[in-house]
Structure 1
Amino acid sequence: MTILKHVTYRNLGWDSAADLYLPPDFDEGKQYPAIVSTHPIGSCKEQTSGNIYARQLAQEGFVVLAFDASFQGASGGEPRFMEDPAIRVSDIRFAIDYLVSLPYVDAQRIGAIGVCGGGAYTISAASTDHRIRALTSITGVNFGRLMREGFSQFDQVGALEAMAAQRTAEAKGAARQVINYLPDSVEAGKQAGISDIDVLEATDYYKSARGRQPNGATSGLFSFNSAAMAWDAFAHAETLLTQPLLVVIGDKPGGFGAYRDGWEIYGRAASKAKQIFVAEGWSHYDLYDQPEPVALAMSQIVPFFKKHL
């Protein structure tokens, strides 16, 4: 059985909460390759980044750290529900700081994996933190691109003006505007006229017993989302992202854009060792937890990390 430890470590001005997954035959006297696992936007460490990918990688002999983003889950930081890409990327660096401080982690064999928004954050982190020796993006979504398109309804300037007005109001004492990225249920989404596969399947995952967790809030602080509007997860990938890269996507594209983002970063990355795996017949949210597509993904991920770490 995989060994699970709940840990905390210092971030900028608060503590990060994380789950440390250890191999079944763990021996503190040995050194292991280690992987940082980053959760999706609006998610938490107990969901797909932890209970699916971190757990299975630990079974394969890796030490894996699945953490809660700052301002989210059980991690500290105020105000709550901030989704600031720069801080999300910084979180990954602090997670690596924690891992390399452990005597049983080989600091020269650090990898990173992320799901959805976490996949793109992992790509951005690896571009500028070359302690990451190899990385995998699982159905990764470039949050900056998504903010400029679907989340702002393609009215970037109008969205920025609304965010500015709300932040000014909050600075003067108004209540924080916390938005829920998803409808309350699949049925409620359909009744509201939503037909996009990603929104409906996200709702099925996050709002039902299938994936629901207390800290999987699917919430964002509206006034602070402006930080993502000019951000690009793939910036400078053509020159700075040189580590081995594995991109995993499903071939059922949805509104969040993981399919197109996967092909984009595969083309742009400077990595000499890069590969893309398309799980045929499966969608973005199938790759979160469904046994067959996850098994397909793991059939690529495990040999990839064993080769490069």
Structure 2
Amino acid sequence: MNIQKVVFMNKELDLRLAGLLYLPDNFDLNKDYSAIVVTGPMLSVKEQAQSVYAKTLTKQGYVTLTFDGAYFGESQGSPRQLEFPAVKESDIEAAVDFLTSLPYVDEKRIGGLGICGSGSYMSVAGVKEPRLKAITAVVPAIADIAKSAMASFFLPDEQVTAAKQAYENGTGELLHLNFMPRAFEEGAAYYFTARGSHPRWSNQVVAWSQLELLKYNVPQIMQEMTKPYLVITGENAWSREASSEIFAAVPNADKELRVIPEAGHFDLYDLAPYVTEAFEYITPFFEKNL
């Protein structure tokens, strides 16, 4: 496959985003291709878990796009490491803008695949972005985040709010959360080893990101989902409850929930046989709907 570095605009934020565009082998400029936006876990950069899925989809003939979200990696935005759901959704919209600008992409056949936190962001984008025609969410992790394992990384809201006000007034330093401590063994086995580590990845997130995450009600939004929708989770995934809650909220009959036996949450980032088994459902889903 041909992998190209690209830059495109998040017009809402007026920020440049750095992406990787994957083109299939034997790419033919005269053909019209289906395309898939692939987004990764919270705080991730484009070369991590999302690249595993993007490469597999490209081998199947799709044009795929991964990118660093605004405030992360090689993309623009300050303060760095700001994780706001509304920003993530605008990034996905910007990615769709970019794909529709490519003459060889069929704008009627664009899908989305999101992993972990962006499994939830991509699900919401499926509701809000009409140009996305079919959505796959792999271990979507944000439903009621206050009930999830991620909430253990948060600080008291009063402390975070005070820090935000002090920073914005110029009287305080930027406060970060340690969002992936090494003590979180399953996550550390991915992010702090050769499996998933990357020089541009950091486990630090701007602390007041939690204020937006805590009021992000994904199941409520998913009640308006009308598109083909596939959720992949793991039998032993810590996020399974959230994934099931998001799936249950969707009234659309054209939906599938698939549970990969024995898989944990992070197993579905990159490990065999779990990712291979996930594609037993992902492949026919996109073949049917794109």
What TM-score do you get using the length of structure 1 for normalisation? 0.89
Task: Name the aligned partner's letter for residue 124 of structure 1.
Answer: V
| SS of residue in 2 equivalent to 1:204 | helix
Identify if the C-alpha distance between structure 1 residues 276 and 148 changes in structure 2 by more than 3 Å, giving closer, same or farther. closer
Partner of 1:176: 174
Give ranges in structure 1 of 5+ residues lacking alignment.
190-198
Partner of 2:215: 230
Q: Measure the CA separation in 2 of the matches of 1:90 and 1:109.
A: 20
Are 1:265 and 2:246 matched, yes or no?
yes
Partner of 2:280: 299
Are 1:213 and 2:198 matched, yes or no?
yes
Let me know the Cα RMSD of the aligned residues: 1.7
CA drift at 1:215: 1.8
| CA offsets 1:283-307 (integer angstroms, 9 cap, x no match) | 0000001020000001110111011
| SS of residue in 1 equivalent to 2:134 | strand
Partner of 1:40: 41
| SS of residue in 2 equivalent to 1:282 | coil
Partner of 1:20: 21
Q: Measure the CA separation in 2 of the matches of 1:233 and 1:218.
A: 24
Alpha-carbon contact 2:218-2:246 (below 8 Å) kept: no
Alpha-carbon contact 1:243-1:272 (below 8 Å) kept: no
Are 1:161 and 2:158 matched, yes or no?
yes
Q: Measure the CA separation in 2 of the matches of 1:39 and 1:282.
A: 18
| SS of residue in 2 equivalent to 1:110 | strand
| CA offsets 1:72-100 (integer angstroms, 9 cap, x no match) | 11111111000000111111011000000
CA drift at 1:222: 0.5
Task: Name the aligned partner's letter for residue 226 of structure 1.
Answer: L
Partner of 2:79: 79
Q: Measure the CA separation in 2 of the matches of 1:55 and 1:237.
A: 28
Alpha-carbon contact 1:139-1:250 (below 8 Å) kept: yes
Give ranges in structure 2 of 5+ residues lacking alignment.
none
Q: Measure the CA separation in 2 of the matches of 1:204 and 1:149.
A: 19
How many equivalent residue pairs? Answer: 287
Alpha-carbon contact 2:92-2:125 (below 8 Å) kept: yes
What TM-score do you get using the length of structure 2 for normalisation? 0.94
1:1-309 matches, within 5 Å, as 2-11=1-10, 12-50=13-51, 52-142=52-142, 145-147=144-146, 150-153=149-152, 159-171=156-168, 172-183=170-181, 185=182, 189=183, 199-238=184-223, 240-254=224-238, 258-309=239-290
Q: Measure the CA separation in 2 of the matches of 1:24 and 1:130.
A: 29
CA drift at 1:245: 0.6
Identity %: 33
Q: Measure the CA separation in 2 of the matches of 1:149 and 1:211.
A: 22
Q: Measure the CA separation in 2 of the matches of 1:164 and 1:177.
A: 10
Q: Measure the CA separation in 1 of the matches of 2:252 and 2:35.
A: 20
Identify if the C-alpha distance between structure 1 residues 296 and 151 changes in structure 2 by more than 3 Å, giving closer, same or farther. closer
Task: Name the aligned partner's letter for residue 225 of structure 2.
Answer: L
CA drift at 1:147: 4.4
Runs of 4+ deviating beyond 4 Å:
147-154
| CA offsets 1:154-183 (integer angstroms, 9 cap, x no match) | 9x9x82211111112212332211222122
Q: Measure the CA separation in 2 of the matches of 1:271 and 1:264.
A: 14
Identify if the C-alpha distance between structure 1 residues 291 and 215 changes in structure 2 by more than 3 Å, giving closer, same or farther. same
Q: Measure the CA separation in 1 of the matches of 2:8 and 2:54.
A: 18
CA drift at 1:148: 6.0
